[in-house]
Amino acid sequence: MRDLIASFPENIEESLRIAASYTLKKPSEQLKSVVICGMGGSGIGGKLVAQWLENSLQIPVVVCQDYTLPKFVNSSTLVICSSYSGETEETLSCLHEAKELKAFIIGISSGGALVAFCEKNNYDCMEIPSGNPPRTALAFSVGQLLTIFFQLGLTNDTFIKDYQSSKNLLVDFNEQIHASAKELAAFLKNKLVLMYSASNYEAVAIRARQQFNENAKILCNHHVIPEMNHNELVGWGLADERCGVLIFDSKDLHPKNQLRLEFSIDHFKTKTPHIFRLVPEGDSLIERAIYFINVVDWASFYLSDLNDVDPIEIDVINRLKSFLSNK
């Protein structure tokens, strides 16, 4: 896992190089909606990209993480099916449904049934390197998605440039990232982990939850400002020092949300002294998000060592797949 996380900056560059080698077909109809289908390590790329682009796109983007597509999908919908293995059953179910609905389909995968289906039906499919845990292939999911939106004329190249520059950011701040990650891992050891971010960084918090789940083998929770002020803030009534709070302090909140965050932190302090504010480097939303992600990836790895668990092992997921295949 150490080597796989260390390769993240280079994967960003490689993902864009691979994506740029494709010239995608253009839809025959004007696109009126986009659905990104993907689960786990493949699906989180869709959540990140959808969130990054939401204030620049003229059409809605929905992330689908189930067996069926939203009812609005039709021939003017772009359906992107992303499955690292190419065998994710929920994503393949959506892929077949998208074909029946005559949607405009693009795949992202390292092989398997998804690539075969796209080849058979003459759909574009961006193929990415295979052989690693899907959660370590995030860079490829993101690079391919950003390129799809750009090549289809839905965005300009600003987002690709910001993503590309995030590679240099990670290299330049490598020592700082590792220091923060080790400090964060030690902080989270034996804590009930509660994470908070601005709403436009929720996908980052979800990615963090997934990494702590899979790599460090711990349960944790996340919520966003301002929504948590309308419910979870009250839930702190019976909280105690078992709670360890991780704040993704992006420093770009709406002024009212910054006030809400500070109030919330003051309230947390009445219940627990364990509060960690993680502040990113970077000038753009994408750069800051990638910085957060890389710190947490390393923190989840260091925490796996502290917890004496194997960060690669996902036996229970494999047992679930075997269970489902026999039904």
pLDDT digits over 283-308, tens only?
Answer: 999 999 999 999 999 999 999 999 99
Beta pairing partners, 277: 247
In this chain, the answer to whether the domains covering 2-165 and 173-306 adopt an identical fold is: yes
Verify whether residue 189 is a known catalytic residue. no
Classify domain 2-165 at the CATH topology level. Answer: Rossmann fold (3.40.50)
CATH class of the region 173-306:
alpha beta
Q: Which two tokens stand for residue 93?
A: 């179910």
**Once rounded to an integer, what is the mean pLDDT over residues 51-70?**
96
Which pLDDT belongs to residue 326?
81
From the candidates 90, 127, 214, 287, give the one annotated as an active-site residue: 214
Radius of gyration, CA atoms only, the chain = 20
pLDDT value at 327 more than 90:
no
pTM of the model: 0.96
Verify whether residue 25 is a known catalytic residue. no
- How far apart (Å, rounded) are the C-alpha atoms in residues 22 and 262? 46
Which pLDDT belongs to residue 325?
84
- How far apart (Å, rounded) are the C-alpha atoms in residues 155 and 161? 12
CB-count burial class (<10 Å; 0-12, 13-18, 19+) for 318: exposed
Which of these, 310, 316, 315, 298, lies nearest to 136 by C-alpha position? 298
Taking each helix axis from N to C terminus, what angle separates 174-188 and 158-172, rounded to the nearest 10 degrees? Answer: 80
Q: What is the residue whose two structure tokens read 């269970």?
A: 323
**Once rounded to an integer, what is the mean pLDDT over residues 174-184?**
98
Q: Which two tokens stand for residue 85?
A: 């293995």
The DSSP element (H or E) to which 298 belongs, if any, is helix 285-306
Which pLDDT belongs to residue 193?
97
> pLDDT digit string (tens) for 112-141?
999 999 999 999 999 999 989 989 999 999
**Once rounded to an integer, what is the mean pLDDT over residues 160-174?**
98
> pLDDT digit string (tens) for 15-37?
999 999 999 999 999 999 999 99
Which pLDDT belongs to residue 241?
97
Beta strands across the sheet bearing 61-64: 61-64, 33-37, 77-83, 104-109, 124-127
Q: Supply the mean pLDDT for the chain.
A: 96
Which pLDDT belongs to residue 60?
97
pLDDT tier at 275, thresholds 50, 70, 90: very high
Using alpha carbons, list the distances in angstroms from residue 110 to 85, 135, 243. Answer: 6, 13, 39
Q: Which two tokens stand for residue 162?
A: 């910001």
CB 274 within 8 A of CB 191: yes
Verify whether residue 127 is a known catalytic residue. no
What percent of the chain clears pLDDT 70, i.e. is strictly above it?
100
Which pLDDT belongs to residue 160?
97
Domain borders along the chain are 2-165, 173-306
Comparing 326 with 75, the larger pLDDT belongs to 75
From the candidates 71, 120, 175, 230, give the one annotated as an active-site residue: 230
Which residues, other chains included, contact 288 with Cβ-Cβ below 8 Å and sequence gap of 6+?
201, 250, 252, 280, 281, 282
**Once rounded to an integer, what is the mean pLDDT over residues 240-263?**
96
Q: Which two tokens stand for residue 326?
A: 């026999």
Which pLDDT belongs to residue 250?
95
Which pLDDT belongs to residue 205?
98
